[in-house]
Structure 1
Amino acid sequence: MSLTILDIAKIAGVAKSTVSRYLNGGSVGEATKKKIEQAIKETGYEPNPFAQSLKAKKTNIIGTIVPRLDSYASSQTLIGIDQELKKMNYQMLISNTSQSLDREIESIYSFANQKMAGIILLATEITDQHIQAFEDVKIPVLLIGQEHKAFHSIIHDDYHAGFAMGRYILEKGYRKIAYLGVTERDRAVGVQRKQGFKDALQEIKDCNVEFFETEFKIPAAQTSAREIIYDFHPSIFVCATDNIALGVLKAAYSEGLVIPKDIAVTGFGGYEVTEIIHPSLTTAKFFYKEAGETAARHIVDLVNERTVEKLTTSKFEIIERESVDINFNHVL
């Protein structure tokens, strides 16, 4: 059975409130302090850091709000946050909202009521409700994945990754292009990534490019891709995420198409699975774990009222693999 503060108080012969005050760094007489320390040493008692932190005036817990846990990007980001926070003697408490904006807002207020030291939001959309909640709770807030001028943010370089991918496929000779993206409510993936790609194509006049939207999940992307293959017959799919690209690959296989001979596919993300599938996926790799580590350092700096840059941009890298024919020379 786990020991409690009351057990330590009885062994030390002091009040429970005195033990609590000692554990939370309060003022305790030297003789009383020695009694409590002796009781802790004899019993091997370890305070519950979560409960202890909630009782303190200043906690060491960072509330982290994530839209979904079944996402490579989210999981890698959370790993980075958690590992870096532990190095600085902070802890992470996660709230999974299952892509519900209402639950995101509830989590912001809930974390504030639980006396979190700060909040990290892995954001897909920033609404007026989010802004109001951030202003109401009056604790440090850091966004990952979306930018807002009023709050500290860490973003992936979506625009330049989109631009680089556009230049890459043009250099390979592809001219009949299907861009399969997501809703523009997601500013980073739905707008910035697509705009970078569009701008890269402005230099070439003989491109036949069509833009389509789907959902983030593989089955929806598979359904969308099958329709695009029938109606548009692209030579390449440029997909806004690796999951969408996986859906396209499934659709292509179901139609008896050979990758990349019949149709090429690219993604964004750099998920581990994209390297081990066959053919492996050409993608713009983002460094999610490193972004999480940076976020952890920044939120702790904000909690301790140290200066932090308003906007930090994470790097990316184009990873060339088998899903694009490097010897392709298409003439429309």
Structure 2
Amino acid sequence: MTKKMTMADIAELSGVGKSTVSRFFNGGYVKQETREKIQKIIEEYNYKPNAFARLKAKQSRLIGVIVPTLNSKITGRVVTSIDRYLREKNYTTLIQSSDHDIDQELENIQRLIQMNVDGILISSIAITKDHRELFAETQIPIVVLAQEYEEGISIIDDDYSAGRYIGAYIGKTGHQKVGYIGVYETDVAVGIRRKQGVIDGLKEYGITDLIIGKSDYSFIGGQTVAREILEKAPDVDAMICATDRLAFGAYKILQKAGKKIPEDVSVVGFGGYDESTLLTPELTTLKFDSYGMGYFGAETILKMIQKKRVSKKQVVDYKFIKGGSVKNYRCAESPDLL
């Protein structure tokens, strides 16, 4: 059985001391000429350092990533982007899921701190008093994704502007009776800011009597609220959904009720999921730059570790994707909307 290579072996083959090799792996200063020697040996012998063996080092080269769920397309894009960026910089990503549970999220933060990660990226459900106290106590750099964190560093979607865009789009296409399938307000970004944007966008076109329902992020939740909206307003002509998954639920209930999309009821979402193109008709939706969020988050956390200046808040862009799920009642006067 071939003996596993150690840092001591790398030091001997490189002609340097073990402390120099340790500094190389832990981000300390090593002369460029020496770095090249060590790197050559690593590549020649395909050496893979054990990340957990470095936990006691000043720098572990581990970055913790906390996400609300692992079954979300948006989360998948963000995490993929983070991991790609960090791997290129010789960092290892440790991913924790909170399963949309605040207490679990706080426990994940504490666990990662105990594991001596160099920094934490957290796509938070909500920033609570407990979060703020925990962030203040630790010296580890933390970047908050998807929620604005006024006391620290955050990367956010432009939820308000996105919501206003969709609200205005439904308004200018001539809809009159609009339902909104939102999420609970514990999620400030989606539950409050995105919803307020939708309300303000509709108001520009004189629509103020919005029928609002709240749900979790699930497909079943989307069905439940869509059913409630239909019961309250059988003549509803549009449903705006806070996420594509909620829109999937709305599709199912509308079809069960014998409502045609978009002839009877228009449906629009947020997310730009790939599955949205498989619906009939394809869902009109708005796609946030989730890969950009992951990239900016990873770039920012490494800058913070290196004590470089970073922007307090970065806002990622979005793109409107026009499917076939919105009817234009003003087609004759505004054909460009189709």
Q: TM-score band (shorter)?
A: 0.7 to 0.9
Paired letter, 2:280: H
Whether 1:134 and 2:135 are equivalent positions in the alignment is: yes
User: For residue 305 of structure 1, what is the aligned residue in structure 2?
Assistant: 307
User: For residue 144 of structure 1, what is the aligned residue in structure 2?
Assistant: 145
Q: Does the 8 Å contact 1:67/1:99 carry over to 2? A: yes
Q: Does the 8 Å contact 2:7/2:21 carry over to 1? A: no
Secondary structure of 2:64's counterpart equals: strand
For residues 150 and 304 of structure 1, what CA distance do their matches in structure 2 show?
20
Q: Does the 8 Å contact 2:211/2:229 carry over to 1? A: no
For residues 319 and 6 of structure 1, what CA distance do their matches in structure 2 show?
52
For residues 160 and 206 of structure 1, what CA distance do their matches in structure 2 show?
18
1:24-63 maps to which residues of 2 (within 5 A)?
Answer: 24-25=22-23, 44=45, 46-63=47-64
User: For residue 265 of structure 2, what is the aligned residue in structure 1?
Assistant: 263
User: For residue 318 of structure 1, what is the aligned residue in structure 2?
Assistant: 320
**Deviation, structure 1 residue 104:** 1.3
Q: Does the 8 Å contact 2:143/2:301 carry over to 1? A: yes
User: For residue 215 of structure 1, what is the aligned residue in structure 2?
Assistant: 216
1:66-215 maps to which residues of 2 (within 5 A)?
Answer: 66-205=67-206, 207-215=208-216
Q: Does the 8 Å contact 1:214/1:221 carry over to 2? A: yes
Q: TM-score, normalised by structure 2?
A: 0.85
Q: Does the 8 Å contact 1:24/1:52 carry over to 2? A: no
For residues 56 and 117 of structure 1, what CA distance do their matches in structure 2 show?
10
Q: Alpha carbons of 1:6 and 1:144: their partners in 2 closer, same or farther (altered >3 Å)?
A: closer
Q: State percent identity of aligned pairs.
A: 32
Q: Does the 8 Å contact 1:162/1:195 carry over to 2? A: yes
Higher RCO, 1 vs 2 (CA within 8 Å, ≥6 residues apart): 1
Q: Does the 8 Å contact 1:242/1:270 carry over to 2? A: yes
Aligned counterpart for 2:281 among listed residues 279, 282, 293: 279
Q: What's the CA shift string for 1:14-50, capped at 9, x where partnerless?
A: xxxx85x4541289xxxxx9xxx8xx78x93724241
User: For residue 294 of structure 2, what is the aligned residue in structure 1?
Assistant: 292
Paired letter, 2:239: F
Q: Alpha carbons of 1:296 and 1:254: their partners in 2 closer, same or farther (altered >3 Å)?
A: same
Q: What's the CA shift string for 1:101-159, capped at 9, x where partnerless?
A: 11211221221121111000011201111111111221100000001111100000000
Secondary structure of 1:106's counterpart equals: helix
For residues 96 and 275 of structure 1, what CA distance do their matches in structure 2 show?
28
Aligned length: 314
Secondary structure of 1:284's counterpart equals: strand
Q: Does the 8 Å contact 2:262/2:327 carry over to 1? A: yes
Secondary structure of 1:24's counterpart equals: helix
For residues 70 and 57 of structure 2, what CA distance do their matches in structure 1 show?
30
Q: What's the CA shift string for 1:54-85, capped at 9, x where partnerless?
A: 24211221100111100111111000111111
Q: Alpha carbons of 1:197 and 1:240: their partners in 2 closer, same or farther (altered >3 Å)?
A: same
Q: Does the 8 Å contact 1:109/1:137 carry over to 2? A: no
For residues 85 and 197 of structure 1, what CA distance do their matches in structure 2 show?
36
User: For residue 230 of structure 2, what is the aligned residue in structure 1?
Assistant: 229
For residues 61 and 105 of structure 1, what CA distance do their matches in structure 2 show?
19
User: For residue 30 of structure 1, what is the aligned residue in structure 2?
Assistant: none
Secondary structure of 1:237's counterpart equals: strand
Q: Alpha carbons of 1:206 and 1:286: their partners in 2 closer, same or farther (altered >3 Å)?
A: closer
Paired letter, 2:302: V
Q: Does the 8 Å contact 2:170/2:202 carry over to 1? A: no
**Deviation, structure 1 residue 206:** 5.5
**Deviation, structure 1 residue 253:** 1.3
**Structure 1, unpaired ranges of 5+:** 13-17, 28-32
For residues 196 and 304 of structure 2, what CA distance do their matches in structure 1 show?
32
**Structure 2, unpaired ranges of 5+:** 29-33, 332-338
For residues 122 and 208 of structure 2, what CA distance do their matches in structure 1 show?
39
